[in-house]
Amino acid sequence: MSGANRIAGKGRLTPARTVRFTFDGQALTAVEGDTLASALIANGIHLTGRSFKYHRPRGMLSAGPEEPNALMDIGRDSARRTPNVRATVQEVFDGMQAKSQNRWPSLSFDIGAVNNLASPMFAAGFYYKTFMWPKAAWKKLYEPVIRNAAGLGVSPSERDPDHYANHHAHCDVLVIGGGVAGLAAALSAAHAGAEVIICDEQPEMGGAFRHETDTTIAGKSGFDWAQAVVAELRAMDNVRVLTRTTAFGYQAQNHVGLVERVTEHLAAPDARLPRERMWQVRARQVVIATGAIERHMVFANNDRPGIMLASAARTFLNHFGVAVGARVGVYTANDSAYNAAFDLKRAGVSIPVIVDVRPQVDAALLARAADLGIEVLTGHAVVDTKGSLRVRSMKVARIGGGGGKDYAIDALIMSSGWTPSVHMYSQSRGKVVWDEASERFLPGVHPQASMSIGACNGTDDLNETIAEAVRAGRESAEKAGVASGGGWAPPAAVAGTSWAGNMMGSGEGAGPDTTVKAFVDFQNDVTAKDIRLAVREGMESIEHVKRFTTNGMATDQGKTSNIHGLAIAAEMLDRPLPKVGLTTFRSPYTPVTFGAIVNHSRGALFDPTRKTPMHDWEAAHGAVFEDVGQWKRAWYYPRTGEDMHQAVNRECRTVREAAGLFDASTLGKIEVVGPDAAAFLNLLYTNSWDKLEPGRCKYGIMLREDGFIYDDGVVGRMAEDRFHVTTTTGGAPRVMHHMEDYLQTEFPHLKVWLTSTSEQWAVIAVQGPKAREIIAPLVEGIDMSSEAMPHMSVREGRICGVPTRLFRMSFTGEAGFEVNVPADYGKAVWEAIWARAEPMGACAYGTEAMHVLRAEKGYIIVGQDTDGTVTPDDAGLNWAVAKKKPDFVGIRGMKRPDLVREGRKQLVGLQTRDPKIVLEEGAQIVADPNQTVPMKMLGHVTSSYWSENCGRSIAMGVVAGGRSLMGQTLYVPMPDRTIEVTVTDTVFIDKQGERLNG
């Protein structure tokens, strides 16, 4: 059996097709197509969770996405587990493991329920007021305990093994919602020739026809008509039908996010299928047909398991064939609950009474009730309920009459009316408008290319809805500019249910003079009393009330509670409801998983990885890599038994004693070409380029307009009109952007063309006394003698038979070359050079040794020794600033008063008194270590290393007035000691630079 409450002959599921699942470990049977909610109710289970704050027993309130209570942990296996899933949305699959949340040790006996007894303590704003003192206790004591006690599900700890898909889709008309309005609009637009996407969150379209069974359209029941329309739409080439697909976000320019649950309902999904599919739809026109959501009644103890929306009970009966109880009370302010009662009664369920707050009710409804033998009490209210883990009785009293009579029940269905779902409209930045006649917020002017139709637009009448939808479909196609001659005539329809009747706020017995728990927001345990308290405490704006009480927050976002909360606040404030205002609806409409959002962007696809042409050789030779932006750079090459320190020391020593090979391919490279190339560089760099002869190189500094160093690099002049510019590795894109900006917008008169060539050139730095000897035999067409090719020159020729731009330059202080070859030849040329270098005692060295070697020579790294507030003078680079140029970027900025004052931080060398101590980069520098805290900081250490070549530690730092402090002692206070340092110049080795010319 698939549950004792299954009613033979009712519903649309096939009883023979059963599936097995567990709930809190208990094995249960469902029917294929059941939601977890319908399956539990079929098995007589209404208790599905404990409330957030008071840990009150709760059951299903709804049968749809608005569900605030029945949040479950749904598992397929240990890695596939999702918390906070609404049981009313999750379809049961064979083998599903469902667990209740927020209870300990068990659902029926929960220790946290003492919160309910202590509830006077837990009024709105309680946390804000109580856990304030002492301040330190909040983080360590209060917050962890509160978070532990109150909370929803537990996030999974294992890596998600599934994959997710992402689609960008374009269409003429997107229809959101597959109820009668959406289906009619889609068919109308499709027949008019538009490319249409229609989506609906349910497995089958039909909207309200899932519960409403009294309507006929074109001679069929509403639901059957809907399925026929879906079949027709699916057969059309210009229509895409998406079920189990929620439109969750309406962004600018009709960009709508949909999430499709592809395998969440399948017992054994094909591993090739994505678990969910994200659709990013860009639609010329959007038709919003999102219907309406029924509201509950606000009365004392309205939250016991078994108390639910009338439409939910009707859905469980008419769609799933499940009775929500054997003896069901009805409490309503809306006509549609009568139809629910009639359906239940006809299915054999006892309806002891329909309690209607309205003094006058439609005579036809009363007559139908009488025919079925159901008692109706108009002008009455349910004022209280009893029952611990399930509702057992309700107390009914005449409004204003006091007293009351108890009715034994095992379920209570209720309706205070229907709230148009204006979420999508509101997300599109539309402002809702209060409709006085029908007392509800409706869409106003649509700010985007969209329209709202049907119940979400306040259109209640069935035939009006169909007419409106057909019109909207046609108009959308026309506005999208694709309408052809075709069309679709609205079918004849006879409505079976009236949706009239509306009540907002608290009912009889839950007014301002009471202290009962009449829940407004089930998920956040917000009662009518809490809303009133918020107003009494001075919250006048509904946004403040929301945040003080948490009404309308969390996973259901107030779909059932917002209007009630607003009405109670308005009553307390004695203001008309529209004057209090509605909170803004924001994306997402319902929760979206991180899996769907993150999608493909995880693991190796999270961020691109850039590798140089020599990467594989480096990896094969044991390189340890470091991430430099997106680049993988060889950091050091440890030999067997070496740690990083030993490897770097060896590499540094070998470069100065013999030679080293370094992969400098990541350097940014920009080809600057044109008759005005030199004039352009004159404007972009501090240096002057006019006199640089073709075949020579120069170290250049680039400033921003504010006068601070932006980038640096060596620039080679290949010809009168052609420069080979290098930038820092990290600076390559921004330098290109900076150059393009000036070229296009400030100096467009210059005839210059810029091309990024960073990835076109592989760069092999060969540095050290044996550098020339290593590469000379491989080079053709270039005289490499020191006389013919001095330091800072560049030649074009061939190496290993491939074209090269050969730079004689050095970032180590040794004589050296940088071999530029087309990237595809990088690895082959590297291997050829290596074959000569290795027998000559050279090594490959990584970025760490490169850092040490350049620091030994006092060469700066922009971004390490500078930080965006360092001028050329601060860095000791005044020699690189042309004095006679009339203009360059930064020429005015660097003359600002603060940039030329005395006492600015200047880059200096630092030597520790104890040569073995290596300073920490970033450590602060002071003059007097014994001063009181906070000390006066003079500057900080920017670069610091152990220098094997110097036999001691070396460091650079920026120090206020540093160049006037040469030889003086300063201090670096550390947590465990104070380190004495001497201020020096920044060159620690070969101060005369003789090795460069070797």
Task: Tell me the closest approach of the beta carbon of residue 588 to another protein, in angstroms.
Answer: 16
Using rule CB under 8 A, residue 251 touches another protein: yes
Pairing of strands 843-844, 660-663: parallel
- In terms of CB distance, is 740 or 831 closer to another protein? 740
Task: Tell me the closest approach of the beta carbon of residue 28 to another protein, in angstroms.
Answer: 44
Site for another protein in 684-723 (CB under 8 A): 705-706
Among 163, 255, 327, 653, binds another protein (CB under 8 A): 255
HEC readout, 901-966: CCCCEEEEEEEECCCCCCCCCCCEEECCCCCCCCCCCCEEEEEEEEECCCCEEEEEEEEECHHHHC
Determine the interface stretch with another protein among 108-116, 411-419, 646-654, 733-741 (rule: CB under 8 A): 733-741
Using rule CB under 8 A, residue 841 touches another protein: no
Task: Tell me the closest approach of the beta carbon of residue 744 to another protein, in angstroms.
Answer: 5
Each residue 339-368 as x (binds another protein by CB under 8 A) or -, in order, gives ------------------------------
Distance CA 210, CA 226 (A): 10
Among 748, 803, 841, 922, binds another protein (CB under 8 A): 748
Count of H-run helices and E-run strands, the chain: 25, 51
Distance CA 544, CA 531 (A): 11
Bridge-partner residues for 250, per DSSP?
256
Task: Tell me the closest approach of the beta carbon of residue 891 to another protein, in angstroms.
Answer: 5
Determine the interface stretch with another protein among 180-188, 394-402, 548-556, 885-893 (rule: CB under 8 A): 885-893
- In terms of CB distance, is 251 or 593 closer to another protein? 251
Among 887, 914, 985, 994, binds another protein (CB under 8 A): 887
How far is CA 829 from its chain centroid? 45
Determine the interface stretch with another protein among 342-350, 734-742, 876-884, 947-955 (rule: CB under 8 A): 734-742
Among 461, 741, 780, 985, binds another protein (CB under 8 A): 741
Task: Tell me the closest approach of the beta carbon of residue 725 to another protein, in angstroms.
Answer: 17
The neighbour count for residue 117, using CB atoms within 10 Å, is 9
Using rule CB under 8 A, residue 170 touches another protein: no
Task: Tell me the closest approach of the beta carbon of residue 753 to another protein, in angstroms.
Answer: 12
Task: Tell me the closest approach of the beta carbon of residue 895 to another protein, in angstroms.
Answer: 8
Using rule CB under 8 A, residue 607 touches another protein: no
Using rule CB under 8 A, residue 920 touches another protein: no
Alpha-carbon Rg of the chain, whole angstroms? 38
Task: Tell me the closest approach of the beta carbon of residue 727 to another protein, in angstroms.
Answer: 17
Strand order in the sheet with 753-756: 697-703, 709-719, 722-727, 668-673, 753-756
State the number of binding residues for another protein (CB under 8 A).
23
Determine the interface stretch with another protein among 174-182, 313-321, 626-634, 888-896 (rule: CB under 8 A): 888-896
Chain position carrying tokens 């728990």: 517
How far is CA 617 from its chain centroid? 38
Question: Do residues 561 and 521 touch, judged by C-beta distance below 8 A?
Answer: yes
- In terms of CB distance, is 250 or 946 closer to another protein? 250
Report the candidate in 552, 772, 791, 765 with the shortest Cα–Cα distance to residue 665.
765
- In terms of CB distance, is 671 or 706 closer to another protein? 706
Task: Tell me the closest approach of the beta carbon of residue 888 to another protein, in angstroms.
Answer: 9
Report the candidate in 709, 727, 630 with the shortest Cα–Cα distance to residue 671.
727
Using rule CB under 8 A, residue 744 touches another protein: yes
The helix/strand/coil state of 723 is: strand
Determine the interface stretch with another protein among 319-327, 456-464, 713-721, 890-898 (rule: CB under 8 A): 890-898
Task: Tell me the closest approach of the beta carbon of residue 754 to another protein, in angstroms.
Answer: 9
Using rule CB under 8 A, residue 161 touches another protein: no
- In terms of CB distance, is 24 or 706 closer to another protein? 706
Q: Torsions phi, psi of 845, nearest 5?
A: -125, 155
In the chain, the N- to C-terminal Cα span, in Å, equals 93
HEC readout, 677-704: HHHHHHHHECCCCCCCCCCEEEEEEEEC
Using rule CB under 8 A, residue 892 touches another protein: yes
Among 740, 824, 838, 914, binds another protein (CB under 8 A): 740
Identity at 450, one-letter amino acid code: S
Q: Torsions phi, psi of 232, nearest 5?
A: -65, -45
Site for another protein in 271-290 (CB under 8 A): 282
Question: Do residues 346 and 9 touch, judged by C-beta distance below 8 A?
Answer: no
Distance CA 67, CA 44 (A): 19
Each residue 370-409 as x (binds another protein by CB under 8 A) or -, in order, gives ----------------------------------------
Determine the interface stretch with another protein among 352-360, 464-472, 637-645, 741-749 (rule: CB under 8 A): 741-749
Identity at 188, one-letter amino acid code: S
Distance CA 71, CA 89 (A): 10
219-227: list long-range contacts, CB under 8 Å, 24+ apart.
Answer: 219/492, 222/180, 222/496, 223/12, 225/491, 226/178, 226/179, 226/180, 226/183
How far is CA 140 from its chain centroid? 28
Using rule CB under 8 A, residue 536 touches another protein: no
Alpha helix positions (H), 742-890: 771-775, 826-837, 847-856
Determine the interface stretch with another protein among 6-14, 246-254, 686-694, 769-777 (rule: CB under 8 A): 246-254
Q: Is 549 exposed, middle or buried (0-12, 13-18, 19+ CB in 10 A)?
A: buried
- In terms of CB distance, is 431 or 991 closer to another protein? 431
Give the containing element (helix H, strand E) for 338: helix 336-346
Identity at 394, one-letter amino acid code: M
Task: Tell me the closest approach of the beta carbon of residue 723 to another protein, in angstroms.
Answer: 19
Each residue 412-451 as x (binds another protein by CB under 8 A) or -, in order, gives -----------------x-----------------x----
Distance CA 857, CA 995 (A): 11
Task: Tell me the closest approach of the beta carbon of residue 985 to another protein, in angstroms.
Answer: 31
- Under the rule (CB under 8 A), what is the footprint of another protein? 251-253, 255, 282, 429, 447, 705-706, 737, 740-741, 744-746, 748, 886-887, 891-893, 896-897
